[in-house]
């Protein structure tokens, strides 16, 4: 009886063992099939990315853009296929020999990651407001592409664009708030008016030199300075400074009635306004109002005057 029970037990164990082996083998086959499918999809995505770099950026094939991206793909702000095609065309017009060389590429799941080197020579159209200087550029980039149903649905891009513009020979300027620039020019204009009052106060030229007023005016006027009087007579910087040696004017007041400033860019501004002058000239009292235009430029860490014009307000 005992032998019979032992035989039955052994048979049950053997059957269970065979069932377990069979089940395990089925699971391994399923896992292997999934892995193979995954590897095929990853390889297909890698080939699509390789083709993207070669066709789009190496050859300027704009149809390849539409073939690669999903219509609703995300790539930066407000991405559209048409807009991106225009961007590619613009870039290649600026850099006719532009290309992206893949230095590393690999896939993980639905993503493909590439490291590339962008090269080209700026011999084409203007870019970043910079005329072509024939400068060669070489900039590294990192891109992550996400795929779904064979199309790129998300493209994340990182590159050193600051290095790019510097290699192009562009001289970078720090951003300046236009409101602050306007305040600075207004202040410079008021100080200039106060300096004029001092220079035309009837003091001898020697006293003006001793007080530093002549030196202050010399520093304020740019080397190309030109003054045009209400009669149309033009004087350069040297002539304008020399005029104070024989000036027979005693200015009592110079009241700014209004002042407007227009900022052209970080380094240039135009100031306009009216000033009421009262005083004595050659023994005769006067009370007149003049309209003025002063052109300012930013040089040597300060605002300087490059041109002045005044006309009488009747």
Q: Any idea what the Cα angle at residue 272 is, between residues 269 and 278, rounded to 5°?
A: 135
Query: What phi and psi values does residue 219 have, to the nearest 5 degrees?
Result: -75, -30
By CB atoms closer than 10 A (0-12, 13-18, 19+), residue 270 is: middle
Q: What's the confidence (pLDDT) of residue 231?
A: 83
Q: Within this chain, do residues 52 and 124 fall inside the same structural domain, yes or no? A: yes
Q: Within this chain, do residues 211 and 302 fall inside the same structural domain, yes or no? A: yes
Give me the CATH number covering residue 222.
3.10.450.50
Q: What's the confidence (pLDDT) of residue 35?
A: 52
Q: Is 285 left (phi over 0), alpha (psi -120 to 50) or beta?
A: beta
Q: Within this chain, do residues 252 and 306 fall inside the same structural domain, yes or no? A: yes
Q: Within this chain, do residues 193 and 295 fall inside the same structural domain, yes or no? A: yes
Question: Over its length of 314 residues, how does the chain's per-residue pLDDT go in tens digits?
Answer: 444 443 444 344 344 444 444 444 444 544 455 455 568 899 999 999 999 999 999 999 999 999 999 999 999 888 999 999 999 999 999 999 999 999 999 999 999 999 999 999 999 988 887 888 899 999 999 999 999 999 999 999 999 888 888 898 887 667 788 999 999 999 999 999 999 999 999 999 999 999 999 999 999 999 999 999 888 899 999 999 999 998 888 999 999 999 999 999 889 999 999 999 999 998 899 999 999 999 999 988 899 999 999 999 97
Q: Within this chain, do residues 131 and 205 fall inside the same structural domain, yes or no? A: no
Q: What's the confidence (pLDDT) of residue 127?
A: 84
pLDDT in tens, 252-265: 999 999 999 999 98
pLDDT in tens, 158-181: 998 888 888 988 876 677 889 999
Q: Within this chain, do residues 151 and 235 fall inside the same structural domain, yes or no? A: no
Show which of 137, 167, 197 is a domain's final residue: 167
Q: Within this chain, do residues 145 and 206 fall inside the same structural domain, yes or no? A: no
SS3 228: strand
Give a yes or no: residue 23 inside a domain.
no
Give a yes or no: residue 79 inside a domain.
yes
Q: How far apart are CA 311 and CA 277, in angstroms?
A: 13
Q: Within this chain, do residues 66 and 186 fall inside the same structural domain, yes or no? A: no
Element (H, E) at 46: helix 2-52
- Does this model's pTM top 0.95? My answer is no
Q: What's the confidence (pLDDT) of residue 33?
A: 52
Give a yes or no: residue 74 inside a domain.
yes
Give a yes or no: residue 51 inside a domain.
yes
Q: Locate tokens 């017009």: which residue? A: 93
Q: Within this chain, do residues 150 and 214 fall inside the same structural domain, yes or no? A: no
* Among 6, 91, 30, 81, CA closest to 57: 91
**Domain count of the fold of the chain:** 2
Give a yes or no: residue 29 inside a domain.
no
Give a yes or no: residue 121 inside a domain.
yes
Please, what sign has the CA dihedral across residues 207, 208, 212, 215?
negative
Give a yes or no: residue 66 inside a domain.
yes
Show which of 144, 167, 190 is a domain's final residue: 167
Residues 6+ apart with CB under 8 A from 115: 102, 103, 104, 105, 140, 141, 142
Q: Within this chain, do residues 107 and 136 fall inside the same structural domain, yes or no? A: yes
pLDDT in tens, 271-310: 999 999 999 998 899 999 999 999 999 988 899 999 999 9
Instruction: State the residue range of the domain holding 293.
Output: 178-312
CA atoms within 13 A on the CB side of 57: 15
Q: Within this chain, do residues 198 and 156 fall inside the same structural domain, yes or no? A: no
Give a yes or no: residue 10 inside a domain.
no
Show which of 134, 167, 200 is a domain's final residue: 167
Q: Within this chain, do residues 131 and 224 fall inside the same structural domain, yes or no? A: no
């Amino acid at each position: 009886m005992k032998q019979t029970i032992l035989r039955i037990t052994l048979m049950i164990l053997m059957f269970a063992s065979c069932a377990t082996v069979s089940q395990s083998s089925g699971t391994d086959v399923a896992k292997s099939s999934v892995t193979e499918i995954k590897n095929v999809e990853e390889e297909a995505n890698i080939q699509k990315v390789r083709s993207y770099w070669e066709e789009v950026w190496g050859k300027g094939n704009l149809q390849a853009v539409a073939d690669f991206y999903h219509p609703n793909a995300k790539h930066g702000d407000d991405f559209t296929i048409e807009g991106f095609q225009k961007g590619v065309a613009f870039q290649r017009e600026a850099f006719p020999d532009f290309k992206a060389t893949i230095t590393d590429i690999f896939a993980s799941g639905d993503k493909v990651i590439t490291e590339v080197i962008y090269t080209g020579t700026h011999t084409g159209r203007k870019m970043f407001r910079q005329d072509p200087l024939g400068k060669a550029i070489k900039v590294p980039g990192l891109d992550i592409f996400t795929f779904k149903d064979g199309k790129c649905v998300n493209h994340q891009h990182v590159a050193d664009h600051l290095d790019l513009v510097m290699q192009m020979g562009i001289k970078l300027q720090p951003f300046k708030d236009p409101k602050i620039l306007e305040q600075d020019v207004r202040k410079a204009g008021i100080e200039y008016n106060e300096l004029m009052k001092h220079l035309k106060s009837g003091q001898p030229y020697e006293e003006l030199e001793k007080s530093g007023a002549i030196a202050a005016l010399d520093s304020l006027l740019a080397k190309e300075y030109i003054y045009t009087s209400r009669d149309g007579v033009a004087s350069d910087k040297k002539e304008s400074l020399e005029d104070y040696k024989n000036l027979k004017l005693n200015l009592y007041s110079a009241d700014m009635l209004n002042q407007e400033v227009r900022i052209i860019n970080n380094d240039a501004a135009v100031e306009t306004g009216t000033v009421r002058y009262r005083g004595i000239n050659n023994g005769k009292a006067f009370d007149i109002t003049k309209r003025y235009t002063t052109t300012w430029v930013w040089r040597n860490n300060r605002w300087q005057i490059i041109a002045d014009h005044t006309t009488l307000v009747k």
